[in-house]
Amino acid sequence: MRSKVMAVFALALGGVTFSVPLLAHHGTAAFENEKKITLKGTVAEWLWSNPHCLLQVDVKGDDGKVVRWVGETQNPVSMTNVGWSKAAIKAGDDVTVVMLPVKNGMPLGRLVSVALPNGKTLISGEGASREERDKLEQEVHQAK
Amino acid sequence: MTNAGAFSKVLSRLRVLRKVLVLALIVSSATLVRGNGPQAPAVHAAKDQKSAAANAQKAAPAAAPRHDLSGTWEPANGPSEGIQPDGVKAMPNDGKPEHQLPYTPYGLQTYKSHHALFGPDENLPEFNNDPRDKCEPLGFPRMDFYNLRETQILQNEYKVALLYEYGTAWRVIWTDGRPLPKLVDGGVMIGNEVKEPRYYGYSVGKWVDDTTLVVQTTGMMAEDRVWLDTAGRPISDQVRVEERIHRVDHDHLEWTVTIDDPKMYTKPWIAMNKFPMKLEDPHRDVMEQYCSLSEMENYNKVFASPASAPGGQAPKH
């Protein structure tokens, strides 16, 4: 069932995050690096691909209009290192995502996290410090 | 002897043979693990052995074996350490005076013609002209300076082969005593033949002590085909690269790379300084990390292009 949704905008509420660009593929010129938004919606597609994986989520606004947001992550190798997988997200999943949006107002952003229907939350390491990401990688490594 | 008796005797011999084979297999497996893996017990073993392995890992590793780099290696300070998005590890393009490279006028001009996505001169994706984003081969030495991740090293008495994770690319370093080819117009001279430039050049290696292989590489593609790093620094077809790969102990390597390119830089400089790698479980199955043009086009269409527009800014130089 398509989730009933509101787009919760937590603009800059979390204060300043010392975000480090961890990207292999592009810089940070196009992105807000200190502004996070939270969206609830339904997964249209989870594409496990290079140079970045892409999560497309349909989000219904207060006006009933559905907007398709696209969140990018790192490449499959880097995402595997932080515990993500091709099989972890499925089309039709109702999810809550946190993103660092692009500056130009398009419905696009870097994915910070995805809360899944099974109660698990996948953390990408975007918007986190290098130390936080290292810790995440170590935890995933040790859990294997 | 009856047929039944003969059959029983054969069966009995087969049982003995099976026991011998199983024993041999166990011994050879143990030898393999000792030879190629970290000094801790293989992580591949059952999970209840994990804590024992963790304790053993705290113990000092054994000494490095002589003239042997073989194994699966990963950046010792975490998998992100070798990505080097801001340029080569020892000299990132971060605008700091101490990281300014000794460009020749032509080197600076070539750098300015490269519109990288990173560094103080970073560009929006639509203005980027990194050959990487057309899935061109990265070439050497950029293989060492971009997405240096899990790297498998295999060797025999003639050569050392490096199997990089990114691009499923590999290099062969000859250790059979052949000389480094000489640079000539149009490529390199090998014997009486002029051979073509290569993306990954021509490499020869020499053991300078028991645990250090020094590799010289030359004969790479010209500057319109390859970049030195992801910050858009250049190399030319005149570059000569020296790598010192030192096995510090059984479980650790240090990798140092020096760039000598008189066309682009006024003097040699160190691009990677004792970059640490650690030995992985020999059973580790390394993932693919590839560049697919169709996936790249889809990514640009769905994400990079709309993320850049409207109001994108033209390259700064």
Give the residue from chain B lying closest to A68, CA to CA.
B302
The C-alpha atoms of residue B128 and residue B232 are separated, in whole angstroms, by 10
Parent domain of A39: 7-19+28-143
Distance (Å) of CA B288 to CA A60, B130, B151: 37, 21, 12
- Does residue A2 sit within a domain? no
pLDDT per residue of chain B (317 residues) written in tens, 0 to 9: 444 444 445 445 545 445 444 444 333 433 333 345 676 544 454 555 555 555 555 688 999 999 999 999 999 999 889 999 999 999 999 999 999 999 999 999 999 999 998 878 877 777 889 999 899 999 999 999 999 999 999 999 999 999 999 999 999 999 999 999 999 999 999 999 999 999 999 999 999 999 999 999 999 999 989 999 999 999 999 999 999 999 999 999 999 999 999 999 999 999 999 999 999 999 999 999 999 999 999 998 999 888 877 654 554 54
pLDDT at site B161:
98
Model confidence pLDDT, tens digit, residues A7-50: 333 333 333 333 333 444 555 666 666 789 999 999 999 999 99
At B222, list the tokens: 């010209």
**What CATH number is associated with residue A34?**
2.40.50.140
**Around Cβ B246, how many Cβ atoms within 10 Å?**
18
Number of domains in chain A: 1
What's the complex ipTM?
0.80
- Does residue A1 sit within a domain? no
Among chain B, residues having any CB pair with chain A shorter than 8 Å are 78-80, 83, 85, 117-119, 122-125, 128, 133, 146-147, 149, 165, 230, 287-292, 295-296, 298-299, 302-304, 306-311, 313
Which of B235, B259, B228 lies closest to B145 in space, CA to CA?
A: B228
Among chain A, residues having any CB pair with chain B shorter than 8 Å are 21-31, 47, 49-52, 54, 56, 70, 72, 75-78, 80-81, 102, 104, 106, 108, 130, 133-134, 137-138
**Which neighbouring-strand residues pair with B276?**
B254
pTM score of the predicted model: 0.79
Strand-strand pairing, B193-195 and B202-209: unpaired
- Domains of chain B, by residue range, sit at 3-58, 71-299
- Does residue A136 sit within a domain? yes
pLDDT at site B13:
54
Q: With CB atoms and an 8 Å threshold, state whether A137 touches B125.
A: no
- Does residue A54 sit within a domain? yes
DSSP one-letter string for B86-98: TS-TTS-SSS-GG
Q: With CB atoms and an 8 Å threshold, state whether A133 touches B79.
A: no
